[in-house]
């Protein structure tokens, strides 16, 4: 555990903040979609909510990047937490009428996600180095997996033992309290001002081959994460019809992710990142093929096991790898904010394409034949990721991007 001492006080506080926020989101996030389904029985309602969420995120990142550049990234974190809090308070007030406001609620949630996650990415970049980043991301993934594992189980237990939809109100209320705690803790992080021109468009157009490949990889990653950000939980609920079973499923899947993230914190080294990502790609192709073959409870269970185990094999090393590309390209000037903003655009482009296809192809109900066509569209994505990854290489001499901050 000697690596933990390499993480400074700010890094440890960030882990605590992210852990509490993950607990709050874990209690409520997957159940927002189930709540909307329980009220509407309409897949397109869920797709619209998530579609507008992911449409607004990149625009939020662009504005939040400007805010972080001209003021401080901590303002972005605090605004993100406040918006998350307001989102759940509105659901508590609207109750069953929530289904009539899925588009504005999706936009509101996207604003919260954009502000918070930009701040989190910048803070991780600032509070770690290349030689500690894999360990930090592994521990961060471990904490997120732990709370992501227990939170849905607790939520499912609460919902099961409370009448009608009152359990949903209880878990949304607990989430609001946890977000208030996060807001208070954020004031103990040290501010860092980095005034200067906002060079977002120049960074987005940067022709560096490594950077272009990172953008391509993250677009393809967004194709899968867009729809499965809510569809896996929904398929489990379809199969069981019970929130407690969904919570139990999340507990098991979260346990697998927990083990993976903990092991990766110690196993991943800069020179091994690509190998772990390649292994993740192979296993995720297998997971999609299983779901294509069997879309019943068994297929969903196998899919959940494979993604629970091997999603961290992509997430943790790729986060460090993309930060390395950014670090390598920002040696001459501080463009880390612009790179992190630019990285988010293709991710959400992939998510929007994925959910839009789902919306128009499947309609209001789950048609298995159309669903299989949709899965066949996603299967090549991990393979192309591996091909793009092979082209990323670093010279011994670090260099800047050549982008001038005038």
Helix axes 102-127, 43-70, angle to 10 degrees: 40
DSSP string of 228-276, one letter each residue = HTTHHHHHHHHHH--HHHHHHHHHHHHHHHHHHHHHHHHH--GGGHHHH
DSSP string of 80-96, one letter each residue = HHHHHHHHHHHHHHHGG
Exposure b/e, 57-69, CB count within 10 A at least 16 = b: bbebbbebbbbbb
> Band of the pLDDT at 404, cuts 50, 70, 90?
very low
Q: pLDDT at residue 402 above 70? A: no
Residue 400, SS3?
A: strand
Backbone angle region of 392, left / alpha / beta, with phi > 0 → left and psi within -120 to 50 → alpha? beta
- pLDDT (average), residues 314-326: 85
CA 58 – CA 60 distance, rounded (Å): 5
Here the tokens at position 228 are 């499965």
Return the pLDDT at 55. 92
Query: Within 13 Å, how many C-alpha atoms sit on residue 133's CB side?
Result: 24
Residues in CB range of 112: below 8 A, 6 or more apart: 80, 81, 83, 84, 86, 87
Domain positions in the chain: 9-187+200-390
Return the pLDDT at 47. 85
Return the pLDDT at 333. 47
Q: What is the pLDDT of residues 79-138, one digit of tens each?
A: 998 998 899 888 888 888 888 999 999 999 999 999 988 988 888 877 777 777 778 877
CA 50 – CA 102 distance, rounded (Å): 9
CB 328 within 8 Å of CB 399: yes
Q: What is the pLDDT of residues 362-393, one digit of tens each?
A: 766 667 778 888 888 888 888 899 888 887 77
Write the class of the CATH domain 9-187+200-390. mainly alpha
Q: Please state the pTM of the whole predicted model.
A: 0.81
> Band of the pLDDT at 4, cuts 50, 70, 90?
low
> Band of the pLDDT at 283, cuts 50, 70, 90?
very high
Q: pLDDT at residue 398 above 60? A: no
> Band of the pLDDT at 400, cuts 50, 70, 90?
low
**CA 345: distance to chain centroid?**
13
Q: What is the pLDDT of residues 201-231, one digit of tens each?
A: 888 888 888 889 999 999 999 888 887 777 7
**CA 271: distance to chain centroid?**
25
Mean pLDDT of the chain: 82
Give the end-to-end CA distance of the chain in Å, rounded to a whole number.
44
Q: What is the pLDDT of residues 241-254, one digit of tens each?
A: 777 787 788 778 87
Here the tokens at position 212 are 């272009």
CB 196 within 8 Å of CB 334: yes
CA 171 – CA 159 distance, rounded (Å): 8
CB 102 within 8 Å of CB 49: yes
**CA 103: distance to chain centroid?**
20
């Amino acid at each position: 555990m000697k690596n933990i001492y390499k993480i400074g006080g700010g890094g440890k506080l960030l882990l605590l903040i992210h852990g509490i926020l993950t607990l709050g989101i874990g209690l409520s996030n997957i159940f927002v979609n189930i709540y909307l389904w329980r009220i509407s029985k309409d897949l397109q309602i869920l797709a619209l909510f998530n579609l507008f969420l992911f449409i607004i995120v990149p625009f939020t990142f662009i504005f939040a990047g400007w805010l972080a550049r001209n003021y401080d990234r901590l303002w972005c974190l605090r605004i993100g937490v406040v918006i998350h809090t307001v989102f759940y308070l509105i659901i508590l007030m609207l109750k069953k009428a929530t289904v009539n406001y899925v588009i504005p609620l999706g936009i509101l949630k996207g604003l919260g996600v954009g502000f918070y996650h930009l701040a989190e990415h910048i803070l991780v970049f600032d509070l770690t180095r290349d030689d500690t980043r894999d360990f930090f991301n592994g521990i961060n993934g471990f904490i997120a997996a732990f709370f992501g594992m227990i939170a849905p189980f607790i939520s499912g237990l609460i919902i099961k033992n409370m009448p009608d939809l009152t359990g949903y109100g209880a878990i949304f209320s607990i989430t609001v309290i946890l977000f208030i705690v996060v807001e208070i803790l954020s004031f103990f992080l040290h501010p860092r001002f980095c005034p200067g021109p906002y060079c977002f468009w120049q960074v987005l157009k940067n022709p560096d081959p490594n950077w272009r490949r990172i953008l391509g990889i993250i677009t393809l990653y967004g194709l899968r994460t867009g729809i499965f950000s809510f569809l896996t939980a929904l398929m489990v609920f379809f199969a069981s019809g019970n929130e407690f079973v969904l919570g139990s499923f999340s507990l098991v899947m979260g346990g697998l992710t927990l083990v993976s993230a903990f092991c990766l914190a110690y196993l991943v080294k800069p020179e091994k990142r690509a190998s772990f990502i390649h292994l993740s790609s192979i296993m995720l192709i297998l997971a999609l093929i299983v779901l294509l073959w069997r879309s019943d409870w068994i297929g969903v269970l196998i899919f959940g096991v494979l993604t629970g185990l091997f999603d961290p094999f992509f997430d943790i090393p790729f986060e460090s790898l993309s930060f390395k590309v950014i670090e390598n390209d920002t040696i001459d000037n501080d463009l880390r904010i612009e790179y992190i903003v630019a990285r988010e655009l293709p991710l959400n482009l992939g998510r929007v394409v994925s959910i839009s296809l789902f919306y128009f192809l499947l309609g209001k109900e789950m048609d298995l034949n159309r669903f299989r066509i949709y899965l066949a569209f996603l299967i090549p994505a991990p393979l192309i990721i591996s091909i793009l990854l092979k082209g990323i290489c670093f010279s011994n001499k670090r260099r800047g991007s050549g982008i001038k901050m005038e």
